[in-house]
Structure 1
Amino acid sequence: MIDCVIIDDEQHAIDLLLQHISQVHFLRVVGTATNPIKGLAMITDLKPGLVFLDVQMPQLTGVEMLKLISKDSHIIMTTAYKEYAVQGFEHEVVDYLLKPVQFLRFLKAVNRMWTIHSNQRPVIEQDHYVFVKTEQKGKLLKIDARRITYIEGLSNYAIIHMDDKKKIITYLKLKELSESLAARGFVRVHKSFIISLSHLTAVEGNMVRILNVEQPINIGEAYRQDFFEVINTKMLYVPPDDTIN
């Protein structure tokens, strides 16, 4: 678990980050402040592992605060002004998020933080497993999340499709599953479907194809923007012909 502090002079920006953080199981908010002076004192007192730090604030800017915060606290900077990114990375911040902060871009940043955090801890056993309630009362089933190809939502329950074609019925809604599995490489693409990015083989217009699944899955309009933000982070761009030697 990583303790977080949010420093931003705009309460609505704090509220948005609180909403994002609530969907990530390894983050816990221990304090927020709209006043940078109070925020600095809070960081000194609470010693959080991660600070979400706004750049443009009265009295003390985020860049000025970077010089005062202990190196024991990692920083993710947030601002509406992309020109401050260079200054932030000069101070070795974890990442730089542009406002309004989109969830999938936020998730990429905190996953980077989790990697840093994990590398600082003794490795006991890599955790790839989740437990789900099954149709049998009182029974919990242990599942290797790496073997889930996609999840199909049906009313008040869901069908988890495994890479060996096995189907597991669980009495959880897609919203709950999406929030729990977001940090494990799963993304919701439709009101009825969550897919595993590691099993995604192709994107064809408004459809995605999953490894060893014959039928493509439609990308819902409400989920299209968030999905393609994830895909764009993996995109390889080819330079124009006249720049190729």
Structure 2
Amino acid sequence: MIDCVIIDDEQHAIDLLEHYVGKVPYLNLVASTTDPIVGLAIVNNLQSGLVFLDVQMPQLSGVELLKVIKTNIRVVMTTAYKEYAFEGFEYDVVDYLLKPIDFPRFLKAVNRSIRLDQALSEKNNGGKAYLFVKTEQKGKLVKVDVESITFIEALGNYIAIHQIKQRRIITYMSLKELDEKLSDSGFVRVHKSFIISFAHIIAIEGNFVKILDEQRLIPLGNVYKQDFFKLLNQNLISPLLP
């Protein structure tokens, strides 16, 4: 769950962002205020989180606030004037949202913040990659170490993330979305319904792949064969043909 604060001198702008925050189960609205001084006090009491910060405000501008906000707080700037937004990037803000803000653009900024936090955490953990995925329990995210994933299976509008020792997590997202996230981490799409980890392949038997800790065989679809064997051949002394 990500704690967030909204600071904007216009109440209608706050109302819209509060509505958007309420639609995202992994966001928790801590507070919102039209007073930048009050907002600064709230933000600096957070251990971590995400702030939606208006650029132009009386008493203290958004850019002035940026200079005194704690470094472990992510900031998304909001503004009605595009020319003012770029100044915030000097202070490593996550993104800027141009008013009027629509929900898809809002969600893109939130997800960008999550990716930045994941990248920082990977760096601090010696490069170990992980994902946060939503569960069936509203507002709950589960951390999944990428190295533990053996294969991923499409289940209608859901996917099953299979891990070593036959653990499994069901989450609401598309296989395509996860394929894009993991394509540079040793994973390959082998079927319209399956992504597998190269690190956990035990054997290849005709048009099927045997995966660690999995009794059944994973089918190798004709559409994906060429790319699969291309990657496989990079790790073979005697190359195979599809």
Shorter-chain TM-score: what band?
Answer: 0.5 to 0.7
Alpha-carbon distance between aligned partners in 2 of 1:59 and 1:107, rounded to the nearest angstrom: 29
The 8 Å contact of residues 55 and 85 in structure 2, kept in 1 or not, is answered as no
Any stretches of 5+ residues in structure 2 without a counterpart? 138-151, 161-170, 180-190, 193-242
Return the offset for 1:119: 3.0
Residues 80-119 of structure 1: pairs in structure 2 closer than 5 A:
80-119=80-119
Look up the equivalent residue of 1:115 and give its one-letter code: R
Return the offset for 1:147: 5.2
**Structure of larger gyration radius:** 2
TM-score, normalised to structure 2, is 0.54
Look up the equivalent residue of 2:36 and give its one-letter code: P
Q: 1:127 to 1:97 in 2, by over 3 A?
A: closer
The 8 Å contact of residues 5 and 48 in structure 1, kept in 2 or not, is answered as no
Aligned residue for 1:18, secondary structure, equals helix
1:24-46: CA deviation from partner (whole Å, max 9, x where unpaired): 22211111110111111111223
Aligned residue for 1:31, secondary structure, equals strand
- Tell me the equivalent position of 2:131: 126
Look up the equivalent residue of 2:83 and give its one-letter code: E
Look up the equivalent residue of 2:75 and give its one-letter code: I
Aligned residue for 2:77, secondary structure, equals strand
- Tell me the equivalent position of 1:79: 79
The 8 Å contact of residues 5 and 29 in structure 1, kept in 2 or not, is answered as yes
- Tell me the equivalent position of 2:49: 49
TM-score, normalised to structure 1, is 0.53
- Tell me the equivalent position of 1:61: 61
Q: 1:78 to 1:125 in 2, by over 3 A?
A: closer
Residues 127-146 of structure 1: pairs in structure 2 closer than 5 A:
130-131=135-136
Root mean square deviation of aligned Cα:
3.5
Q: 1:42 to 1:10 in 2, by over 3 A?
A: same
Aligned residue for 2:56, secondary structure, equals coil
Q: 1:44 to 1:118 in 2, by over 3 A?
A: same
Alpha-carbon distance between aligned partners in 2 of 1:69 and 1:128, rounded to the nearest angstrom: 29
Alpha-carbon distance between aligned partners in 2 of 1:37 and 1:161, rounded to the nearest angstrom: 45
The 8 Å contact of residues 150 and 196 in structure 1, kept in 2 or not, is answered as no
Q: 1:127 to 1:95 in 2, by over 3 A?
A: closer
Look up the equivalent residue of 1:83 and give its one-letter code: E
Return the offset for 1:127: 5.0
Q: Number of aligned pairs?
A: 156
The 8 Å contact of residues 10 and 34 in structure 1, kept in 2 or not, is answered as yes
Alpha-carbon distance between aligned partners in 1 of 2:27 and 2:53, rounded to the nearest angstrom: 16
Any stretches of 5+ residues in structure 1 without a counterpart? 133-145, 152-159, 163-179, 187-194, 200-210, 213-245
Alpha-carbon distance between aligned partners in 2 of 1:147 and 1:11, rounded to the nearest angstrom: 45
Look up the equivalent residue of 2:115 and give its one-letter code: T
1:189-215: CA deviation from partner (whole Å, max 9, x where unpaired): xxxxxx97789xxxxxxxxxxx98xxx
Q: Which has the higher contact order (CA 8 A, sep 6+)?
A: 1
- Tell me the equivalent position of 1:26: 26
Look up the equivalent residue of 1:88 and give its one-letter code: G
